[in-house]
Structure 1
Amino acid sequence: MAKNRKTVLAIVLAVKRGFVSPEEGMKILEQAESGDATQAEATVFGFIPTSHQEELRADAAELAEDNSQATRILEEAGVPPDVQQTLLSLGTAAEPNRDDVEATLLSLAPTTANTQVEMPQVKSAAERYQVLREHARGGMGRILIAVDKVVGREVALKELLPFKNLSGSSASPGTPMSATSTTATARFLREATVTGQLEHPNIVPVYEIGQRDDGSLYYTMKFVKGRTLATRLRAIRNDVDLSPEEKLTERLKLLDGFVDVCNAIAFAHSRGVIHRDIKPANIMLGDFGEALVLDWGLARIRGGEDIAMSGGGSGGVKDSQASAEITLEGEVMGTPAYMPPEQAAGKLAAVDERSDVYSLGAVLFEIVSGEPPYQGKTAKQVLSSVLSEQPRLIREISPDAPPELAALVQRALARNPAERFKSARQLAEQVQAYRDGRMV
């Protein structure tokens, strides 16, 4: 029974974290309840990316062994008491009502969109791209480094990972997508089309959006050799050979790239696009001094449908144990340590250009001080701080920080959007004035 209970809880966690849809979860639960827990466990982990399997397996084992711990974790995840009781009865002799279980899974699932996704008509021959290696991977997609043999250049090829069916194999073309996979597809295409329409020197250009013969989606973009701003800031922070003053000097060298980023965001705003997830990890520093804004997957187009706001879902923080520096989805979208209060409160209709200005201010805070404005062990802790507390004072973290920059950061991070800089361009002009030695 313990084996069965652990498997059932693994299925529940997989649904909660968006790896499995509620419908898929119900089918695997029925498989587990029929007595084949081993096969059910293999099925559910077939949906989960390898990089997430160990953590989810450990969490399921912990929940299965300790009811009080299970209750605490479910409370932190925002699960109501009646739903907790249903979950904790799974895999025991007290078999719950099937409708209750299905309703529970639906309540746990992340926000999904019910809209139909229009697939791109452009198709490209498989022979065009020669894949060299995998560059990065996330829960829903991965980036490959490939050679475009038509023009003879290296490109970054981003593809949406296939959603697996219950046998563990990839779904065939034409198979109806679950709500979860539909949402991921819509966001993938939104990111590709939005990025492709923003032609700016500091925004990575998209070359092609395509669909292979097997139905899988991809798009290609410029491959920028370099590292993210987050990586550079971390390297400076961890360099034991640098004094605090030298670390500050190294960080201030990043201001020119920051101005470029502000101008890129200002350009996007002029085209009606709000990024909503500006952070150091989404800023690429090229080997030749260029700075580029990445990842427009959460972008909102003024006047257009907001994928994140359509459909139902439990809302709130997708995973209360998530890192403060990863992107959350659902009613709370973005990265907690860098999002403004209105975004942290889930008021997506109130998120506008000034919200991006706040996030730029949070990035500038980290450049000047070496740390983000809010810190905590989990996303939930950081969100709570963003909603209820003022950001820390830069001069308390970095006493030698230039007071002019500290003042700019304080204004950009104003809790009231009306008190922030009116635009990303205005913030860029003020930082550039500091760099030029002019009065700020």
Structure 2
Amino acid sequence: MQKPTEPTSAQSEPLTTGRVLRSTYEIGTVLGRGGMGAVFLARHLRLPGKQVAIKVLHGAEALSEEVAVRFRREAEIASRLGHPNIVEVLDFDTLEDGTPFMVMEYLRGEGLSRRLRKQKQLPLEDVISISRQMGAALQAAHRAGVVHRDLKPGNVFLVPTEAGGVVGERVKLLDFGISKLVDARTVMTLDSVLMGTPQYMAPEQAMGHNSNVDARTDLFAFGCIVYEMLAGRPPYSGDNVAELIYQIVHLEPPPLLSLAPGTPPHMVTAISRAMAKKPEDRYPDVGAFILELTGSPLQTLSEVKPEQRSRPVSPTAPSAPRPPDREEHIPTVGMRPHAGHDTPPPPSGPQTASLPAQPLAPSRAKWPVAVAVGLTVIIAFAVAFFWKSPAANPPPVAVVTQPVEAKKPVEPEPQTPPADPPVAPEEPQQPVAEPPTVTTKPKPRTSAAESMPDSVREDLASAQKALDASNTSEALRHIRRSQRTKITGLSFSLLTRVYCQQHDLANARAQWTRVPATERPRVRQYCSQYDIDL
């Protein structure tokens, strides 16, 4: 006769307030409970003021070996990735009875699922910031051979941050408990077993084809989350799992533009491709999706370039385990530097403006030589000309000036302008015509204002005309089109005014944070006539 299964000690001796684990962590309040475990707030006894979150497995039956392996793998994966947009695991151990527990950083904030329940549709800027940071975390995981397999709003946590007086949010990706290590054989998941949350499963995952799960499976769920942030509802919903799976495998979600008309067309296209039914029709990786979705690529430490960033969204990832809060915001989006980790590109606009100044230093040091060479060429032409003319003056006088000019940077000849020595060799026959070249120098001054391609300038001018005519939908169309080429401060200035004219306070304030300081007085005055106080 088979003996009844005895309850685990984790069930018979639940953790209570005040209990100390391994002489280090004192249990406090319960932060959350799930079907397989609970998360507790605890304090570190040897580090005063240090709070941590402790995740402990429990259950009515003895833990299976597979569950225990997955739990440990979650700790190892998060620790191995060490990414600022992935929750940090500080320790892993077992209780005296063998029940495993994991010590994680304590996050203050709220889950994306709760944010969506409160706000439904998120402002476009928030969607871009959250997406870029999620993309940074997923890119780091995928490059390490890890597929999350359970992406959903409940596993995305938003932590308020502040850096330099700028308030933002740091995204933290949670729960790698059912992650798949592409190159591992520790746990073999059988096909036809559903692993993940049905609402955000890719078709291959929903049909139980677990051997076909790869990074593109995460990309499908990622697309579903971005869709929900914009539309205010998930792309798929049903009364039961069977109906939900049928929709995911065979049906297309409602058109995004019907639920969120203000979504830029390029974002609609990107989300649609990420949610393609066949994996081969999706983007090859998360980086390609983020580039199409936001117009700016994710960057890694090995790819840092001084390229113009479209937005300071809280971004992507710094390389230190706990970098300062800043973005891409992004991106911000932001994060930083481990090799292979996505990092928020530095604000490179001002830096590119200073680059042309560097080559000038060596050319100044060589200008006396240029003057001498230029004079030599000019004198040679003059000698040839006067040699043929019967009324010419004797050429030896010109020959005397040649060595004098080679020693002295000052030009004795009034016909050569000292202000622009480098151009002397370009026009040897008419040295008197050189002064007009000085007038071409002011061209670079256009970079003092916001530089942008002509097509962007034309789109923004058309948006301004449409706005003056109170045609806000046409103005939005031109602004969004300009942002697909380059995101500029002027575009956010116009966006803010469009939303003010539409009496859309939430979106007006969301765009206001991106309006340049020089534009703010005019935008604030414009919006005040629509009773919107910025």
Q: What band does the TM-score fall into relative to the shorter chain? A: 0.5 to 0.7
Q: Distance in 2 between matches of 1:224 and 1:157?
A: 12
Q: Distance in 1 between matches of 2:55 and 2:180?
A: 20
Q: Distance in 1 between matches of 2:127 and 2:239?
A: 27
| Map 1:37-52 → 2, pairs under 5 A | none
Amino acid at match of 1:307: V
2:177 to 297, 316, 319: 297
Could you report, residue by residue, the CA deviation over 1:191-215 in whole angstroms, capped at 9, with x for unpaired residues? 1211121111100111110012222
Map of 1:420 onto structure 2: 282
Q: Classify 1:296/1:248 alpha carbon distance in 2 versus 1 (closer, same or farther; 3 Å).
A: closer
1:431 deviates by: 2.9
Residues 85 and 171 in structure 2, CA contact (< 8 A), matched pair in contact too: yes
Q: Classify 1:128/1:358 alpha carbon distance in 2 versus 1 (closer, same or farther; 3 Å).
A: same
Could you report, residue by residue, the CA deviation over 1:297-347 in whole angstroms, capped at 9, with x for unpaired residues? 11011121263615xxxx75xxxxxxxxxxxxxx11111111111111111
Could you report, residue by residue, the CA deviation over 1:337-379 in whole angstroms, capped at 9, with x for unpaired residues? 1111111111111111111111111111111111111011222
Residues 204 and 221 in structure 1, CA contact (< 8 A), matched pair in contact too: yes
Q: Distance in 2 between matches of 1:217 and 1:186?
A: 10
Task: Tell whether 2:39 aligns with 1:143.
Answer: yes
Amino acid at match of 1:189: R
Amino acid at match of 2:170: E
Q: Distance in 1 between matches of 2:220 and 2:122?
A: 22
1:349 to 203, 211, 216: 211
Residues 248 and 401 in structure 1, CA contact (< 8 A), matched pair in contact too: no
RMSD over equivalenced CA pairs, Å = 2.8
Map of 1:287 onto structure 2: 160
Q: Distance in 2 between matches of 1:162 and 1:253?
A: 38
Map of 1:236 onto structure 2: 119
Map of 1:129 onto structure 2: 25
Q: What SS class does the counterpart of residue 368 from structure 1 fall into?
A: helix
Map of 1:309 onto structure 2: 189
Map of 1:275 onto structure 2: 148
Task: Tell whether 2:236 aligns with 1:374.
Answer: yes
Q: Distance in 2 between matches of 1:308 and 1:285?
A: 33
Amino acid at match of 1:154: Q
Q: What SS class does the counterpart of residue 401 from structure 1 fall into?
A: coil
Q: Distance in 2 between matches of 1:405 and 1:368?
A: 10
**Structure 1 unmatched ranges of 5 or more:** 1-22, 29-42, 51-123, 165-176, 238-246, 317-330
Map of 1:265 onto structure 2: 138
Map of 1:335 onto structure 2: 197
Map of 1:160 onto structure 2: 57
Q: Distance in 1 between matches of 2:75 and 2:56?
A: 10
Q: What SS class does the counterpart of residue 285 from structure 1 fall into?
A: strand
Q: What SS class does the counterpart of residue 145 from structure 1 fall into?
A: strand
| TM-score (normalised: structure 1) | 0.60
Task: Tell whether 2:71 aligns with 1:188.
Answer: yes
| Map 1:388-407 → 2, pairs under 5 A | 388-407=250-269
Q: Classify 1:155/1:248 alpha carbon distance in 2 versus 1 (closer, same or farther; 3 Å).
A: closer
Q: Distance in 1 between matches of 2:152 and 2:36?
A: 20
1:217 deviates by: 1.1
Q: Classify 1:131/1:360 alpha carbon distance in 2 versus 1 (closer, same or farther; 3 Å).
A: same
Q: Classify 1:131/1:271 alpha carbon distance in 2 versus 1 (closer, same or farther; 3 Å).
A: same
Residues 266 and 424 in structure 1, CA contact (< 8 A), matched pair in contact too: yes
Q: Distance in 1 between matches of 2:280 and 2:107?
A: 36
Map of 1:255 onto structure 2: 128
1:430 deviates by: 2.6
Q: Distance in 2 between matches of 1:439 and 1:379?
A: 42
Residues 11 and 59 in structure 2, CA contact (< 8 A), matched pair in contact too: no
Map of 1:215 onto structure 2: 98
1:252 deviates by: 4.3
Q: Distance in 2 between matches of 1:283 and 1:248?
A: 15
1:125 deviates by: 5.6
Q: Distance in 2 between matches of 1:398 and 1:269?
A: 30
Amino acid at match of 2:108: K
Q: Classify 1:248/1:286 alpha carbon distance in 2 versus 1 (closer, same or farther; 3 Å).
A: closer
Map of 2:445 onto structure 1: none
Q: Distance in 2 between matches of 1:346 and 1:308?
A: 13
Q: Distance in 1 between matches of 2:117 and 2:128?
A: 16
Map of 1:100 onto structure 2: none
Residues 280 and 363 in structure 1, CA contact (< 8 A), matched pair in contact too: yes
Map of 2:221 onto structure 1: 359
Deviates more, 1:383-392 or 1:406-415: 383-392
Map of 1:439 onto structure 2: 485
Residues 274 and 299 in structure 1, CA contact (< 8 A), matched pair in contact too: yes
Q: What SS class does the counterpart of residue 380 from structure 1 fall into?
A: helix
| Map 1:31-42 → 2, pairs under 5 A | none
1:256 deviates by: 0.4
Q: What SS class does the counterpart of residue 150 from structure 1 fall into?
A: coil
2:85 to 202, 205, 220: 202
Deviates more, 1:299-308 or 1:210-219: 299-308
Residues 279 and 359 in structure 1, CA contact (< 8 A), matched pair in contact too: yes
Q: Classify 1:385/1:344 alpha carbon distance in 2 versus 1 (closer, same or farther; 3 Å).
A: same
Residues 163 and 181 in structure 1, CA contact (< 8 A), matched pair in contact too: no
Q: Distance in 2 between matches of 1:125 and 1:381?
A: 45
Q: Distance in 2 between matches of 1:300 and 1:432?
A: 28
Q: Classify 1:248/1:203 alpha carbon distance in 2 versus 1 (closer, same or farther; 3 Å).
A: closer
Q: Distance in 2 between matches of 1:371 and 1:162?
A: 33
Q: Distance in 2 between matches of 1:306 and 1:334?
A: 19
Amino acid at match of 1:192: A
1:188 deviates by: 1.2
Q: Classify 1:148/1:188 alpha carbon distance in 2 versus 1 (closer, same or farther; 3 Å).
A: same
The structure number with the bigger radius of gyration is: 2
Could you report, residue by residue, the CA deviation over 1:31-90 in whole angstroms, capped at 9, with x for unpaired residues? xxxxxxxxxxxx9xx989x9xxxxxxxxxxxxxxxxxxxxxxxxxxxxxxxxxxxxxxxx
Map of 2:509 onto structure 1: none
Map of 2:414 onto structure 1: none
Map of 2:350 onto structure 1: none
| Map 1:49-60 → 2, pairs under 5 A | none
